[in-house]
Structure 1
Amino acid sequence: MSLKHQRVVVERGPRSGLPIIVAVHSTALGTAIGGCRIATYPDWRDGLDDVLRLSSAMTQKAALAGLPHGGGKTVVALPAGAVLDRRAVLHDVGDVIENLGGIYATGPDVGTGPDDMMTIGERTGYVLCRTGDSSPGTAAGVVASMRAVVADRFGSPELSGRSFAVLGAGRVGSHVVRLLRSAGATVLTADVDPSRRTAMESVGATWTDPRSCLTAAVDVLVPAALGGVLTAGTVPTLRCAAVAGPANNQLATDDIADLLHERDILWAPDVVVSAGGIVHAIATELHHETPAQVTTRIEAIGDTLSGILSAARETSSTPAAAASRLADFLVGTPPTPLPATV
């Protein structure tokens, strides 16, 4: 494996005894930003693989969102059945981040929330979202992206009358469901946690199981849980016209973008679609922008996605390739040459 990261730290937390992994992919545009994920992995090295992918994606996400920041990520790799001393783990995380000297700041991710950021903040000042939930901002960016997707696919940005399958009804997914229903869309949703069913049905969404949600015949599939859902096995089963959602690393491998393209399923790169939360946090907490300015930034995610989808069409490439070229240009890396066309 060719390591392209600026810095990678793996430490056994002295309090928790757990692997604390922090990857700083790039600070070319400024301080690296990226959430703290606490999740179970078969082996801690799987957590290392995850943090390398996620931090690289954060560099693209920040650049494409117009933020003066690079990408980083934290992963706490839990073994199966681990009993978590949460305070001990979060203090271990804070110490590792503090020792990086300010090149990276963290925030909430899978398995963490604002309260956890307060605890990390007891050990380091390089932490975001200590006093607020970033999920409404993420969801707002997702809906802005949806308008760009349906406009590209169906000729109009109107969400009313369109059908969506939201896979994952957690903090972000539940907000997306509510926003789509408020816009007049038909929404099918599922989650591995059945306790979320009542809240989703109360806003008019139809509840189903995760497998049926993934393969539903809808206009847009919305991955809103963990990544890796789009694989060589699942893509042939999809019955949607487009895929756009906030889950990070939706493609199990990079070549899945080509499989989606071959099936004429429009895929909106998750590094663009999921940027609303980090845009809100950075613009509000670090750059002290007004609510109106933040809203404008989040709405601009849709414009960015529209430009990427247009560039992909014009170059006969996938949206993934078009987004990667634009991000490389913005970060200052020479873009990958386009394949020769006849």
Structure 2
Amino acid sequence: MTAFWTEPDFDDHEMVHFVRDAKAGLTAIIAVHSSHLGPGAGGTRFWHYPNPKDGLRDALRLSRGMSYKNAMAGLPMGGGKAVILADEARTKTPELLAAFGDAVEALGGRYVTAEDVGISEADMVAVAKRTQHVSGLPVEGEGAAGGDPGPFTAHGIYLGIKAAVRHKLGKDSVAGVHVAVQGTGSVGGGVARLLAADGAKLTLSDIREESANALAKELGAETVASEAVLSTPCDVLSPNALGAIFDDDTIPALQAEIVAGGANNQLARAGHGAKMFERGILYAPDYVINAGGIVSVASEYLARRDGTVCGRSDVLDRIGHIPTRLEEIWQESDASKTSPDVVADRMAQALIGRG
């Protein structure tokens, strides 16, 4: 794993930091892709990887995605990501979190961390005892920015889905629009609730069947097995679980007119966006539509760092620009006959000085 620069997902990353504290049980990778616009910002993923190289791949891909996400969201932040390689039992101890906080602090502010898959708000509170370079902490004061970024991510995705429905289907409302939602956790569940309130027809799926079933009962939705959701006939497919799900096998099986969801790195490889485009499926680039969470945690961090005040309403206003950015991408895609993922990448690369 030491020759990370030979990995296919290495993209001139500024820093790839390997952390090992055997006594604390910590093995982690912290990657900073770009600091052109500011410190590398992105959450920490706590996951068991049978093959550690998959953890490196995630750190590389996700940190690059954060560079693009933060730039396209207009944030003065670069792109970073951390991956903690959990054991098979996913053992998480105070000692492990403290050691990780020390590792972040040792980087002197080059990387700012927050929640991601497997990491909670309470975990960030523990990490914050060892470093100031952390966000996603509990809200202090009514109406203040901060806390769990999941609901903010869900709100941005909800707005993005409505924008996609307008662009592709010519409808100003999602009432009666059939949306298949993959993943019913904090983000996917939040998206589903917002869509249900607008009268959308929902099909839900999760590898934890009990989670999908409970939410379906709450919302009056239907469920489908996790292995079948990608081929479910629907107007909108909203993937909100793990990434790399659209590939040579799954794209031909899609029966949706729109793909718009919060999962990171949904396209398995370069070229898969073009395959979706050739099929006439409108794709919302993941790092654009799912930027609500990072808008929240970045606003919280910057306000705390600068001694200023940032309210929840300010965060929601900034998240409200997500549909505008998506529409810019789709209009350019239509005009240039180029897939939206390529258009978005070009925009983001120009913003971080790599265009």
Q: 2:334 aligns with which of 308, 313, 317?
A: 313
Shift of 1:289: 2.5
Cα displacement string for residues 178-217 of structure 1 (whole angstroms, at most 9, x for unaligned residues): 0000011111001111221223321222122112222111
Paired residue secondary structure (2:34): coil
Aligned to 1:37: 45
Kept in 2: contact 1:30–1:69 (CA 8 A): yes
Aligned to 2:171: 156
Judging changes above 3 Å, is the alpha-carbon distance between structure 1 residues 109 and 160 closer, same or farther for their aligned structure 2 residues?
Answer: same
Amino acid at match of 1:329: A
Aligned to 1:179: 194
Identity %: 38
Cα displacement string for residues 249-269 of structure 1 (whole angstroms, at most 9, x for unaligned residues): 111111111111121111110
Please give the root-mean-square deviation of Cα atoms over the aligned residues, in Å: 1.4
Paired residue secondary structure (2:214): helix
Shift of 1:104: 1.0
What is the 5 A alignment of 1:81-100? 81-82=88-89, 84-100=91-107
1:140 aligns with 2:148: no
What is the 5 A alignment of 1:1-342? 1=6, 3-79=11-87, 81-82=88-89, 84-131=91-138, 132-196=147-211, 197-287=213-303, 288-334=309-355
Cα displacement string for residues 148-196 of structure 1 (whole angstroms, at most 9, x for unaligned residues): 1111101233111211000000111110110000011111001111221
Shift of 1:65: 0.5
Under a length normalisation based on structure 2, what TM-score does the superposition of the two structures give? Answer: 0.91
Shift of 1:19: 1.9
Counterpart Cα distance in 1 of 2:131 and 2:239: 33
Counterpart Cα distance in 1 of 2:90 and 2:316: 40
Cα displacement string for residues 37-92 of structure 1 (whole angstroms, at most 9, x for unaligned residues): 0111122221011100000000000000010100000001234x245143222122
Shift of 1:18: 3.6
Query: Which range moved further: 287-296 or 170-179?
Result: 287-296
Show structure 1 runs of 5+ residues with no match: 335-342
Counterpart Cα distance in 1 of 2:163 and 2:46: 32
Kept in 1: contact 2:184–2:215 (CA 8 A): no
Judging changes above 3 Å, is the alpha-carbon distance between structure 1 residues 148 and 96 closer, same or farther for their aligned structure 2 residues?
Answer: same
Q: Runs of 4 or more off by more than 6 Å in structure 1?
A: none
Kept in 2: contact 1:15–1:92 (CA 8 A): no
Counterpart Cα distance in 2 of 1:273 and 1:298: 9
Counterpart Cα distance in 2 of 1:138 and 1:3: 26
Show structure 2 runs of 5+ residues with no match: 1-5, 139-146, 304-308
Shift of 1:136: 0.8
Paired residue secondary structure (1:12): strand
Under a length normalisation based on structure 1, what TM-score does the superposition of the two structures give? Answer: 0.94
Counterpart Cα distance in 1 of 2:18 and 2:34: 17
Kept in 1: contact 2:134–2:301 (CA 8 A): no
Aligned to 2:306: none
Amino acid at match of 1:286: L
Paired residue secondary structure (1:41): coil
Paired residue secondary structure (2:295): helix
Amino acid at match of 1:134: P
Paired residue secondary structure (1:150): helix
Kept in 2: contact 1:245–1:273 (CA 8 A): yes
Aligned to 1:339: none
Shift of 1:285: 4.1
Cα displacement string for residues 270-327 of structure 1 (whole angstroms, at most 9, x for unaligned residues): 0001101111222244233233222111111011111111111111111001101111
Counterpart Cα distance in 1 of 2:166 and 2:123: 39
Amino acid at match of 1:87: P
Paired residue secondary structure (1:189): strand
Counterpart Cα distance in 2 of 1:230 and 1:176: 20
